[in-house]
């Protein structure tokens, strides 16, 4: 089946809401069947894990994770906790949609349907209208799964070399409680949480870059899945054609 927008979305009303804070939470972004398909597609992915060691991003494939010894895993987590005490740090599971899409050796995953959808002209046109960012040309993307203990400390997403204009998070968590953590948080100049978005099912969060934000740590007792497709709408040239990937 094709991925479809919710036909009841009102671009003018959404744009008015976006301009107020340069961010928005759009509920029921897809039609229900499409959202359920994307959610199912996420469960077919070989999940890797990402964290940073200073400025270096470490990505461990599903195969490498399976081979970690208890000692290696303990040392890795100890390093993450130690760095998180005084510097920027993140930890989450992921699947590199963008890299896989343009890799000739990768099979065609079902999540590619959503990636082609979010790069389709009707969707990009809607995003331009809502955000007012008329220079948006395309979207990159990765799948993310924040498991218990995963988090993303405060940062702005500023990266001029990649042409990032707006960040997006397509949330696909069917069940999420307000006490479970995993909220997308925005801060005022005093460091107070100005706004926090719950990771609700079939909800697109979007905000203009740069903007200080974080993902609060998912509580260790949570058994539900905080699943999403995330990325940036960008102004730089596309890495290649997007659409009808075999």
Q: What is the pLDDT of residue 155?
A: 97
Q: How large is the average pLDDT for residues 180-199?
A: 97
Residue 2 has pLDDT above 90, yes or no: no
Per-residue confidence (pLDDT) for residue 160, from 0 to 100: 80
Domains of the chain with CATH codes: 11-47+92-234 (2.60.120.620)
**DSSP H helical ranges for the chain:** 11-21, 32-42, 62-67, 70-84, 97-101, 112-118, 121-131
**Angle formed by the axes of helices 11-21 and 121-131, to 10°?**
50
Q: In the 3-class helix/strand/coil scheme, how is 196-246 assigned residue by residue?
A: EECCCCCEEEEEECCCCEEECCCCCCCCCCEEEEEEEEECCCCCCCCCCCC
In angstroms, the CA 100 to CA 113 distance is 13
Percent of the chain with pLDDT over 90: 97
pLDDT for the residue 161? 84
Question: pLDDT digit string (tens) for 197-213?
Answer: 999 999 999 999 999 99
Predicted local distance difference test score (pLDDT) of residue 33 = 96
Q: Is the pLDDT confidence value at 1 over 70?
A: no
Rg of the chain over all Cα atoms, to the nearest angstrom: 18
Nearest partner of 113 among 182, 170, 165, judged by Cα: 170
Q: pLDDT of 33-82, one tens digit each? A: 999 999 999 999 999 999 999 999 999 999 999 999 999 999 999 999 99
CB 172 within 8 A of CB 230: no
Confidence of residue 246 (pLDDT cuts 50, 70, 90): confident
Q: Render pLDDT for 129-174 as a digit per residue (tens, 0 to 9).
A: 999 999 999 999 999 999 999 999 999 999 888 999 999 999 999 9
Mean pLDDT of the chain: 97
**Mean per-residue pLDDT for 20-45?**
97
- pLDDT exceeds 80 at position 110: yes
pLDDT at 195: 97
């Amino acid at each position: 089946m094709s991925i479809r927008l919710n036909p009841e979305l009102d671009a003018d009303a959404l744009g008015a809401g976006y301009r107020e804070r340069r961010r928005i939470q759009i509920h029921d972004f897809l039609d229900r069947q499409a959202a359920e398909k994307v959610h199912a597609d996420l469960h077919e992915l070989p999940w890797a894990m990402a964290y940073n060691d200073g400025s270096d991003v470490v990505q461990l494939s599903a195969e490498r994770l399976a081979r970690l010894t208890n000692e290696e895993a303990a040392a890795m987590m100890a390093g993450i906790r130690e760095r998180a005490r005084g510097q920027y740090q993140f930890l989450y599971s992921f699947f590199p949609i963008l890299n896989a899409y343009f890799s000739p050796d990768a099979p065609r995953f079902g999540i590619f349907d959503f990636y082609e959808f979010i790069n389709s002209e009707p969707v990009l046109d809607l995003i331009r209208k809502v955000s007012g960012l008329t220079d948006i040309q395309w979207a990159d993307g990765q799948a993310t799964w924040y498991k218990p203990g995963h988090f993303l400390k405060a940062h702005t997403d500023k990266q001029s070399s990649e042409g990032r204009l707006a960040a997006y998070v397509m949330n696909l968590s069917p069940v999420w409680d307000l006490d479970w953590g995993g909220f997308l948080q925005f801060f005022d100049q005093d460091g107070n949480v100005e706004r926090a978005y719950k990771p609700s099912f079939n909800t697109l969060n979007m905000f203009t870059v740069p903007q200080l934000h974080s993902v609060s740590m998912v509580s260790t007792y949570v058994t539900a899945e905080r699943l999403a497709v995330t990325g940036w709408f960008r102004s730089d040239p596309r890495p290649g054609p997007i659409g009808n990937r075999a």
